[in-house]
């Protein structure tokens, strides 16, 4: 039986199509990545044709313009932020616990000082829990939060540092399954003795931005959400009309596919009486926050988005 492509799966394939149209990847690579998600040649061919990526271009890899995403978080030209695992102000650990269908893996960072802290769920982009997102958790810990970076590849054994195909295949999981895993991560964080259970937030990036909206829609425990360039599914949008979470949508002005949703989402949620603000950064493309991607990283936008996210969480989780 052929799978039905869901909103976030199509979203990721659309992102691959944009990379192809920008000549960052070849058509062969576009097909390979898309097939990892659809599992169907006919479905892939039909969707790519609809996205304007028919079989009408060369199959040779283009000249490289974007280095591959590293497993280790590095910085663009040495200017990106970063907090060392050995920083004495924080404690870190890889955690594993039973989830709905498998063990769930995560990376936990918290302040070293004794006490209880607001908690933040961090959701990665479409290639799994790379070290960049562990660093994001450490940055939150440095700022006084207990942060859990999730691994949504856990059902396949966890993010692979050597095989990106495994990480992309995890995107075949249904929205229902991934939300169930995120609810389990939220409950795990909530029950830690150093976490304030009534002060939980979520942030995520790209694919994880979409699931930041999903978690805010699904969990009454989430009091604040700061999705970065995340696509809102129709199901999440309907549920968000009754959420109690304060929502901060962060977008790049040059990310037309995602930012094009912003007026509709904001209007719908304001009309429903929800707390929502949005920030759109001029000149910032998709993935502008990730300093390991020098072709998209926008230092000024990333720094301000970080400041805005911290202020949002302090307002709704700390104050």
Show the tokens assigned to 259.
């930012």
Domain with 292, as residue range(s), is: 76-318
Residue 86 belongs to domain with CATH number = 3.40.50.1820
Residue 212 forms part of a structural domain: yes
Q: Which pLDDT score, from 0 to 100, does residue 19 have? A: 85
| 140 and 38 in a common domain | no
Query: Could you tell me if 35 and 109 lie in one domain?
Result: no
pLDDT of 65 reads 46
Regions of the chain where pLDDT drops below 70: 1-3, 55-80, 162
Provide DSSP, 249-306: EEEETT-HHHHTTHHHHHHHHHHTT--EEEEEETT--TTTT-TT-TTT--HHHHHHHH
Instruction: Establish if 71 belongs to a structural domain.
Output: no
Same domain membership, residue 62 and residue 182: no
61 and 81 fall within a common domain: no
Question: In this structure, are 58 and 133 located in the same domain?
Answer: no
- Beta-sheet strands, E only, within 43-135: 90-98, 103-111, 117-123
Judge whether 136 lies within some domain.
yes
> Could you tell me if 22 and 140 lie in one domain?
no
Q: Which long-range contacts (CB under 8 A, 24 or more apart) does 188-194 make?
A: 188/95, 188/97, 188/104, 188/106, 188/148, 189/108, 189/119, 189/121, 189/146, 189/148, 190/119, 190/221, 192/119, 192/146, 193/116, 194/110, 194/114, 194/115, 194/116, 194/117, 194/146
Q: Are residues 123 and 59 in the same domain?
A: no
**In this structure, are 214 and 299 located in the same domain?**
yes
Number of domains in the chain: 2
Q: How far is CA 82 from CA 46, 149, 197, in A?
A: 42, 15, 27
Q: What pLDDT is attached to residue 67?
A: 44
Dist. CA 187–CA 143, nearest whole Å: 22
Residues 13 and 113 in one domain: no
**Are 250 and 298 found together in one domain?**
yes
Angle at 176 between CA 172 and CA 181, to 5 degrees: 90
Asked if residue 120 lies in contact with residue 313, where contact means CB atoms within 8 angstroms, the answer is yes
Q: The tokens 């207990």 sit on which residue?
A: 146
**Strand pairing report for 146-150 and 103-111:** antiparallel
Predicted confidence at residue 5, as pLDDT, reads 86
The residue length of the chain stands at: 319
pTM of the model: 0.90
* DSSP H helical ranges for the chain: 7-21, 27-38, 41-50, 131-142, 164-169, 175-190, 207-218, 234-240, 256-259, 262-271, 299-313
Of 66, 84, 99, which marks where a domain is finished?
A: 66
């Amino acid at each position: 039986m052929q799978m039905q492509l869901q909103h976030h799966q199509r979203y990721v394939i659309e992102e691959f199509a944009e990379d192809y149209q920008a000549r960052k990847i070849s058509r062969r690579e576009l097909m390979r990545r898309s097939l990892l998600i659809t599992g169907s040649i006919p479905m892939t061919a039909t969707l790519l044709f609809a996205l304007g990526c028919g079989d009408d271009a060369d199959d040779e890899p283009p000249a490289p313009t974007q280095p591959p995403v590293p497993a280790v978080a590095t910085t663009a030209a040495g200017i990106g932020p970063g907090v060392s695992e050995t920083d004495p102000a924080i404690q870190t650990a890889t955690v594993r616990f039973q989830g709905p269908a498998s063990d769930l893996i995560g990376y936990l960072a918290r302040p070293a000082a004794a006490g209880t802290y607001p908690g933040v769920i961090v959701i990665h982009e479409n290639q799994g829990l790379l070290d960049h997102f562990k660093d994001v958790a450490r940055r939150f810990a440095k700022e006084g939060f207990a942060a859990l970076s999730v691994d949504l590849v856990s059902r396949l054994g966890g993010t692979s540092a050597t095989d990106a195909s495994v990480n992309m295949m995890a995107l075949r999981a249904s929205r229902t399954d991934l939300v169930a895993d995120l609810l389990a991560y939220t409950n795990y964080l909530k029950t830690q003795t150093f976490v304030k259970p009534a002060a939980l937030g979520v942030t995520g990036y790209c694919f994880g931005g979409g699931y930041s909206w999903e978690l805010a829609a699904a969990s009454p425990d989430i009091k604040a959400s700061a999705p970065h360039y995340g696509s809102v599914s129709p199901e999440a949008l309907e549920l968000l009309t009754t959420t109690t979470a304060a929502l901060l949508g962060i977008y790049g002005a040059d990310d037309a596919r995602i930012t094009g949703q912003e007026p509709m989402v904001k209007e719908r949620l304001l009309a429903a009486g929800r707390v929502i603000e949005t920030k759109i950064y001029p000149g910032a493309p998709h993935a502008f926050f990730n300093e390991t991607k020098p072709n998209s990283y926008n230092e000024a936008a990333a720094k301000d988005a970080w400041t805005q996210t911290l202020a949002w969480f302090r307002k709704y989780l700390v104050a």
